[in-house]
């Protein structure tokens, strides 16, 4: 099971592995030929399709040599390429888009009966994933995306049978999954959706994402809950209020802005302006001054001038993000912008990417300074693989925190950690005495407010 790309893909891979295990399969040992090979693909980055074909080569060769194995290509490239994958690599047994991850088990029955399969419909997800963590879990709440950003393949790869239409999971189904996770000992849940604030708009009667947050965020025993990804067009003050008022909700927001220039935003089809984005940030920081705000940005979009790129840098200076995922624009198949004639030169895109990354790192380090000397509540997730004497966890704002400790003792625990070093994208601390209660850190019997 090899999975590329985003958190949605990670969640899908966990579900697929869970189904394979329920059928009696186990992960193949290193160096042992697998009987079922699943490649869970991502089409966002450049040359994604070429990487898929390169990966498939050795497995297709095994099959041509007479070995008995099933080859499954799942995810966004599978949805995008469809039967073209089967024509180019006829050894593939099944091509399935991400919306069918919950059906891998029963679809494989057709493969084992000698059929090539490309499923064509979607259903609610009853499957039990094989979680990659025993502390934190992903929970899908909405599939697909109704937006039509001119650079993005998601509407044609993560949609339902209506090609991109959003499909919300029923609230009861989401809550039941979270309750089951808590019963199994999970401490943190991240709700997933390509455009998560749209959750509920397709249900009858319509429901709001803020109401979902208040409902499932109140599940007994749930320590923390996060959510991604928000769209500026749909970001509601009610969501900000829910984060501020529901104890389990973490003070962090991932809201891609993509560009700081209104002309580029119009060409991208984003449906918001830079001023609207600044307004959202103002609302968050007025209500939750210590919240983390992270984002995505694209440089070198077709037609982007130096002045327009500078507007992106200025938006970053105004906001000062905790972290930004950046990318140089690359044409993706079946997207409008891919065929526009005013493509930016590769050298210019690389230079702009270098500049935006430098500024993003500068702001990230600046934002991390506020934690120095503070005691942060850290949910311990795993051992630090680079330094085995340390454990790794995250504070409520989602920043990785490393400190010395015994993973067998601390895994899944909320631990007070005094921060002694701030790096651009992580923190280093020392275990502190005392405990947190109601957002306050109690040291030597006295409550101390953790200041923003």
In a shared domain, residues 100 and 179: no
Q: Do both 332 and 385 map to the same domain?
A: no
Q: What are phi and psi of 246, to 5 degrees?
A: -95, 115
Is residue 161 over pLDDT 90? no
Eight-state DSSP code of residue 26: -
* 84-124 residue pLDDT tens: 787 788 888 888 877 677 778 777 777 776 777 776 444 44
Q: Comparing 54 with 161, which gets the higher pLDDT?
A: 54
pLDDT of 340 strictly over 70? yes
Do 360 and 321 contact (CB within 8 A), yes or no?
yes
Residues 218 and 334 in one domain: yes
Using 50, 70 and 90 to split pLDDT, how confident is the model at 192? very high
Do both 58 and 166 map to the same domain? no
**Is the pLDDT reported for residue 68 higher than 80?**
yes
Q: Among the three residues 350, 368, 386, which one is the final residue of a domain in this structure?
A: 368
| Alpha-carbon torsion (12, 16, 17, 19), positive or negative | positive
**Residue 324: inside a domain:** yes
Residue 179 exposed, middle or buried by CB count within 10 Å (0-12, 13-18, 19+): middle
CA angle 263, 44, 118 (to 5 degrees): 130
Q: How many residues does the chain have?
A: 452
User: What is the mean pLDDT of the segment spanning 292-311?
Assistant: 97
Angstrom distance (rounded) from CA 167 to CA 348: 39
Determine, yes or no, domain membership for 119.
Answer: no
Looking up residue 381, the CATH number of its domain turns out to be: 2.40.50.140
In 3-state terms, what secondary structure has residue 155?
Answer: helix
332 and 212 share a domain?
yes
- 360 and 253 within one domain: yes
pLDDT for 155 equals: 58
Compute and round to an integer the Cα radius of gyration of the chain: 23
Residue 127 lies in a domain: no
CA 403 to chain CA centroid, Å, is 25
Closest among 191, 187, 160 to 174, alpha carbons compared: 191
The helix-helix angle for 209-216 and 237-245 (nearest 10°) equals 10
The more confidently predicted of residues 244 and 29 is 244
User: Are residues 347 and 414 located together in one domain of the fold?
Assistant: no
Note whether 316 and 407 are same-domain residues. Answer: no
Averaged pLDDT, 346-363: 97
- Given 3-state DSSP classes, what are the helix, strand and coil percentages for the chain, each rounded to the nearest 5? 35, 20, 40
**107: in domain:** yes
Kindly report the CATH number assigned to the domain that includes residue 188: 3.80.30.20
The 8-class DSSP code of residue 258 comes to: B
210 and 157 inside one domain: yes
Q: Is residue 128 part of a domain?
A: no
265 shares a domain with 202 = yes
Question: Is the alpha carbon torsion for 59, 64, 66, 70 positive or negative?
Answer: positive
54 pLDDT band (50/70/90 cuts)? confident
Number of domains in the chain: 3
Residue 46: its pLDDT value, please? 60
Token pair for residue 21? 């295990």
**pLDDT(58) > 80:** yes
Q: How far apart are CA 27 and CA 282, in angstroms?
A: 48
Do 34 and 71 contact (CB within 8 A), yes or no?
Answer: no
Residue 130 dihedral angles phi and psi, to the nearest 5°: -90, 95
Please give the share of the chain, as a percent, with pLDDT higher than 70.
90
pLDDT of 193 over the 70 cut: yes
pLDDT digits over 416-449, tens only? 999 999 999 999 999 998 887 777 777 754 444 4
**How much of the chain, in percent, has pLDDT values that exceed 90?**
58
Question: What's the pLDDT at 136?
Answer: 94
The last residue of one of the domains, among 341, 368, 395, is 368
Task: Tell whether 167 and 238 lie within a shared domain.
Answer: yes
Mean pLDDT within 306-331:
96
The mean pLDDT of 336-351, rounded to a whole number, is 95
- Token pair 């501020």 is found at 244
Q: Which of 368, 390, 415 is the last residue of a domain?
A: 368
Count other C-beta atoms under 10 Å from residue 119's C-beta: 16
Structure confidence at residue 122 (pLDDT): 42
- Least reliable range by pLDDT among 67-76, 187-196, 285-294: 67-76
Residue 19, pLDDT score: 81
pLDDT interval class at 51 (50, 70, 90): confident
Q: How many CB atoms lie within 10 A of CB 228?
A: 21
For the chain, give the mean pLDDT.
87
Q: pLDDT tens, 324-333?
A: 999 999 888 7
- CATH number of the domain bearing residue 29: 3.40.50.12160
**232 part of a folded domain:** yes
User: Among 107-121, 242-256, 280-294, which stretch is predicted with the lowest mean pLDDT?
Assistant: 107-121
21 has a pLDDT exceeding 90: no
d(CA 194, CA 214): 20
> Residue 356 domain-assigned?
yes
Q: What residues pair up with 69 in beta bridges, in sequence order?
A: none
Domain extent at residue 266: 136-368
Same domain, yes or no: 309 and 200: yes
């Amino acid at each position: 099971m090899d999975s590329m790309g985003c958190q949605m893909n990670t969640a899908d891979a966990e579900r697929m592995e869970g189904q394979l295990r329920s059928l009696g399969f186990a992960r193949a040992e290193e160096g042992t030929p697998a009987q079922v090979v699943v490649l869970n693909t991502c089409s966002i980055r450049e040359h994604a399709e070429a990487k898929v074909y390169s990966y498939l080569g050795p497995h297709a060769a095994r099959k041509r040599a007479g070995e008995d194995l099933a080859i499954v290509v799942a995810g966004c490239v599978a949805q995008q390429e469809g039967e073209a994958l089967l024509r180019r690599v006829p050894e593939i047994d099944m091509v399935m888009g991400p919306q069918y991850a919950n059906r891998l088990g029963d679809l494989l029955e057709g493969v084992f009966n000698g059929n090539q399969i490309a499923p064509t419909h979607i259903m609610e997800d009853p499957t039990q994933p094989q979680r990659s963590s025993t502390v934190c879990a992903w929970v899908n709440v909405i599939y697909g995306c109704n937006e039509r950003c001119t650079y993005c393949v998601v509407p044609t790869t993560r949609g339902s049978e209506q090609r991109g239409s959003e499909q919300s999971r029923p609230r009861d189904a989401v809550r039941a999954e979270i309750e089951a996770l808590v019963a199994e000992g999970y401490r943190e849940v991240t709700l997933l959706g390509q455009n998560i604030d749209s959750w509920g708009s397709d249900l009858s009667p319509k429901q709001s994402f803020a109401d979902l947050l208040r409902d499932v965020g109140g599940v007994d025993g749930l320590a923390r809950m996060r959510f991604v990804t928000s769209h500026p067009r749909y970001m509601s003050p009610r969501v900000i209020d829910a984060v501020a008022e529901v104890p389990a909700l973490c003070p962090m927001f991932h809201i891609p802005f993509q560009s700081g220039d209104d002309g580029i935003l119009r060409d991208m089809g984003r449906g918001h302006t830079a001023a609207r984005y600044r307004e959202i940030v103002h609302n968050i920081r007025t209500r939750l001054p210590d919240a983390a705000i992270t984002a995505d940005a694209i440089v070198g979009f077709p037609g982007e001038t130096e002045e327009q790129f500078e507007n992106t840098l200025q938006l970053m200076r105004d906001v000062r993000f905790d972290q930004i995922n950046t990318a140089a624009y690359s044409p993706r198949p079946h997207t409008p912008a891919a065929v526009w004639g005013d493509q930016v030169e590769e050298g210019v895109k690389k230079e702009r990417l270098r500049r935006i990354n430098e500024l993003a790192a500068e702001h990230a380090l600046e934002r991390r300074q506020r934690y120095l000397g503070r005691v942060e509540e850290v949910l311990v997730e795993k051992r630090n693989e680079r330094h085995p004497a340390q454990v790794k966890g995250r504070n409520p704002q989602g920043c990785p925190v490393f400190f010395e400790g015994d993973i067998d003792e601390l895994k899944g625990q909320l631990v007070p950690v005094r921060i002694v070093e701030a790096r651009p994208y992580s923190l280093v601390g020392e275990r502190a005495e005392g405990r947190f209660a109601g957002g306050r850190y109690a040291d030597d019997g006295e409550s101390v407010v953790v200041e923003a």
